[in-house]
Amino acid sequence: MSETGRWLQEVIKCKAAVAWEPNKPLVIEEIEVAPPQANEVRIKIVATGVCHTDLYHLFEGMHKDGFPAVLGHEGAGIVESVGPGVTEFQPGDKVIPLFISQCKQCRFCKSPKTNQCEKGWAADRHDVMASAESRFTCKGKKVLQFMGTSTFSQYTVMNQMAVAKVDPAAPLDKVCLLGCGVCTGFGAAVNTAKVEPGSTCAVFGLGAVGLAAVMGCKAAGAKRIIAVDINPEKFEKAKVFGATEFVNPKDHNKPISQVLAEMTDGGVDYSLECVGNVGVMRSALESCVKGWGVSVLVGWTDMYDFAARPIQLIAGRTWKGSLFGGFKSKDGVPEMVKAYLDKKVKLDEFITHKMTLGEVNDAIELMKHGECIRTVLSVSPQ
């Protein structure tokens, strides 16, 4: 392609699952995807996972002005074309879209203490949406890009600072899970909690995020990993990822923190909340041992305040939160892809269902009813 021709790209018409309004099934529509502009890449999405955060937007968060939108933020694909100023990517590269950018220049990117880049959709765009700058239209209307990613579409457009190039050998229908759930849980244990060898951990909630947290605790050398869920069908899977004990809060008529304290001589060293429920967040904190216990919030909610007794923290516990497992996204995701290819982290075991984009509402129902860990949707033929 000539240098001038390179930027004369066409609008693409393709299929996407559009969320027209909260609480309603997604509708498969033909949408128009604009060409990538300066520093942007247009990506053909090959596969995407369905994460609870997509459901949160549709059924719980219901952001005012957040519709119509294309959901999906756990995808993988292939670069179709690039806009002016893009040097790092070429058509054909395998990539993972990132809902948290890494510009490598802001004060947050320069600090080793955080992965909260100050650029990217979170800052430039509207809240969880790419409102002003969405590259999508459908039936004459602007359609928002959820979390800047919108992987429930055959094509999406992203700023290059929110795209990770991955090993060409990576199977996209597996590594898509590294776009959210698996990095989130694994990193929460390894990067945020900084689980130490020989320690005792408790993971609350055994969806993909919690199971990845179990895997992270094991990778960090935890001796005991107590898996907590109100759905006992999740325990078998938790064992695969390294859980050593299993507790269903429904089997006990005392607070779960008391049950765990009795099992562990006063509480666990690390607890990770992977549910998104403020009551469970408090229980997870209270399940930590005084003196040095660390509790990490991973589950997502922005609906309610939480409460705890100050004495819990005064007595030496630490309460932390983790976004995307604390991974600096562009650096961390390719490393996790490599760890998967080197068989150091599991991905296949998270995938309980495979469907097509057209079946996205069935995948949402499965997750709503706790009947899956991850459904991977095939979005475009490779």
Residues that bind ligand NAD (CB under 6 A): 51-53, 56, 180-181, 184, 204-210, 228-231, 234, 249, 274-277, 280, 298-300, 322-324, 367, 370
Binding partner selected for residue 208 from Zn ion, ligand NAD, none, CB under the kind-specific 5 to 8 Å limit: ligand NAD
Candidates 45-53, 262-270, 286-294, 331-339; binding stretch for Zn ion (CB under 5 A)? 45-53
Nearer to ligand NAD, 323 or 377 (CB): 323
Burial status of residue 171 (CB atoms within 10 A of its CB: 0-12, 13-18, 19 or more): middle
Binding partner selected for residue 300 from Zn ion, ligand NAD, none, CB under the kind-specific 5 to 8 Å limit: ligand NAD
Binding partner selected for residue 209 from Zn ion, ligand NAD, none, CB under the kind-specific 5 to 8 Å limit: ligand NAD
User: Shortest distance, CB of residue 28 to ligand NAD, whole angstroms?
Assistant: 23
Nearer to ligand NAD, 52 or 94 (CB): 52
Residue type, position 220, single letter:
A
3-state secondary structure of 183: helix
Distance CA 274, CA 201 (A): 13
Closest CA to 154 of 273, 31, 50, 297: 31
User: Shortest distance, CB of residue 218 to ligand NAD, whole angstroms?
Assistant: 17
Closest CA to 300 of 130, 178, 174, 128: 128
Binding partner selected for residue 244 from Zn ion, ligand NAD, none, CB under the kind-specific 5 to 8 Å limit: none
Distance CA 27, CA 120 (A): 28
Residue type, position 221, single letter:
G
Residue from 31, 44, 53, 145 touching Zn ion (CB under 5 A): that is: 53
Distance CA 182, CA 208 (A): 7
Q: DSSP H helical segments within 220-309, as ranges?
A: 235-241, 256-263, 278-286
Nearer to ligand NAD, 79 or 217 (CB): 217
User: Shortest distance, CB of residue 303 to ligand NAD, whole angstroms?
Assistant: 11
Element (H, E) at 40: strand 40-49
User: Shortest distance, CB of residue 198 to ligand NAD, whole angstroms?
Assistant: 25
Closest CA to 238 of 273, 262, 203: 203
User: Shortest distance, CB of residue 181 to Zn ion, whole angstroms?
Assistant: 6
User: Shortest distance, CB of residue 171 to ligand NAD, whole angstroms?
Assistant: 21
3-state secondary structure of 362: helix
Residue from 12, 31, 46, 51 touching Zn ion (CB under 5 A): that is: 51
Distance CA 139, CA 317 (A): 53
Binding partner selected for residue 205 from Zn ion, ligand NAD, none, CB under the kind-specific 5 to 8 Å limit: ligand NAD
Candidates 8-16, 49-57, 151-159, 162-170; binding stretch for Zn ion (CB under 5 A)? 49-57
Distance CA 103, CA 295 (A): 29
Q: Which of residues 152-181 bind Zn ion (CB under 5 A)?
A: 180
User: Shortest distance, CB of residue 197 to ligand NAD, whole angstroms?
Assistant: 25
User: Shortest distance, CB of residue 187 to Zn ion, whole angstroms?
Assistant: 13
Distance CA 313, CA 50 (A): 35
Element (H, E) at 376: strand 374-378
Q: How many residues bind Zn ion (CB under 5 A)?
A: 3
DSSP states of 246-268 as a string? Answer: EE-GGG-SS-HHHHHHHHTTS-B
Six token digits for residue 369: 């009813």
Binding mask 179-198 for Zn ion (x = CB under 5 A): -x------------------
Nearer to Zn ion, 86 or 333 (CB): 333
Residue nearest to ligand NAD (CB): 207
Instruction: Report the interface residues with Zn ion, using CB under 5 A.
Output: 51, 53, 180
